[in-house]
Amino acid sequence: AQTVTQSQPEMSVQEAETVTLSCTYDTSESNYYLFWYKQPPSRQMILVIRQEAYKQQNATENRFSVNFQKAAKSFSLKISDSQLGDTAMYFCAFMKLRPYDKVIFGPGTSLSVIP
Amino acid sequence: DADVTQTPRNRITKTGKRIMLECSQTKGHDRMYWYRQDPGLGLRLIYYSFDVKDINKGEISDGYSVSRQAQAKFSLSLESAIPNQTALYFCAIGTGNNQPQHFGDGTRLSIL
């Protein structure tokens, strides 16, 4: 069975600084997708970034980038130039492709951006 | 209009009551999901449906039931609510084409 671990329940960062959120997962699958979702206090689930396991290049979306280490089963999220609006819960998620697109979520990391 | 609409947004009820949470979508996706979020546990899958006639249990289906009334509607019921079902509930939709799931805004349910 797949599992997703986020070892940092809470983190904080100064505004404009860079922070990295950790995520590890366990799977025997060779092809899968990984995601980071953001949940602000409004409680919406917002997709931040996605990574296909067959792609070696790390995904980037503006200030958000990932460090995907497939052999180590690690998928960390780096937020550059942190902004107050980045304050949220962040969930790492694994999506298995077959037999269906089952998504496994990690427990989340609560990030606070300090002015 | 939002792609995925959940009603109600918040609900407080008493132990033993029957509760229905509703989800509707405007994207025309075949796949719909119900998750529950608890602190420190992330989101866990309760039920999922690939079409109107295909409904499947997730990892924590005990105490819950679902109904897929139409392609666009997927409701979650708690037949006899208990306090440990207090949680934030999310409905999500998907295409099944390796695309990320898209979530509603959640229903916060409190059972006293």
pLDDT exceeds 80 at position A97: no
Asked whether residue B98 carries a pLDDT value surpassing 80, the answer given is no
Q: What dihedral do alpha carbons A22, A108, A60, B1 form, nearest 10°?
A: 180
Size of interface A-B (CB pairs under 8 A): 48
Residue in A9, A101, A102 closest to B98 by CB? A101
| DSSP, residue by residue, A15-50 | TTS-EEE--EEE---SSEEEEEEEE-TT---EEEEE
Contact at CB, A95 and B90, closer than 8 angstroms: no
What pLDDT score was predicted for residue A50? Answer: 95
**What tens digit of pLDDT does each residue of A33-74 get?**
999 999 999 999 999 999 999 888 999 999 999 999 999 999
Q: Is B105 on the interface with A (CB under 8 A)?
A: yes
Residue B2 has pLDDT above 90, yes or no: no
List of chain A residues whose C-beta atoms are within 8 Å of the C-beta of residue B101: 101, 103
Share the mean pLDDT of chain A: 94
Residue with tokens 């666009």: B72
Instruction: Please give the pLDDT value at position B60.
Output: 95
By the 10 Å C-beta count (0-12 exposed, 13-18 middle, 19+ buried), A85 is classed as exposed
Q: Higher confidence at residue A80 or residue B100?
A: A80
Cβ distance of A100 and B96 shorter than 8 Å: yes
Query: CA B26 to CA B4: how far, in whole Å?
Result: 7
pLDDT in tens, B3-46: 999 999 999 999 999 999 999 999 999 999 999 999 989 999 99
Chain B contact set for A50 (CB, 8 A) = 100
**Residue in the structure block whose two tokens are 């509707």:** B24
Tokens (6 digits) for B103: 């979530």
- Rounded to whole angstroms, how far apart are CA atoms A93 and A72? 16
DSSP-derived letter for residue B83 is G
- Note whether B42 contacts A33, CB cutoff 8 Å: no
Residue B4 CA to its chain's centroid (Å): 11
Would the CB atoms of A105 and B105 count as touching at under 8 Å?
no
A108/B42 touch (CB, cutoff 8 Å), yes or no = yes
Higher pLDDT, A103 or A87: A87
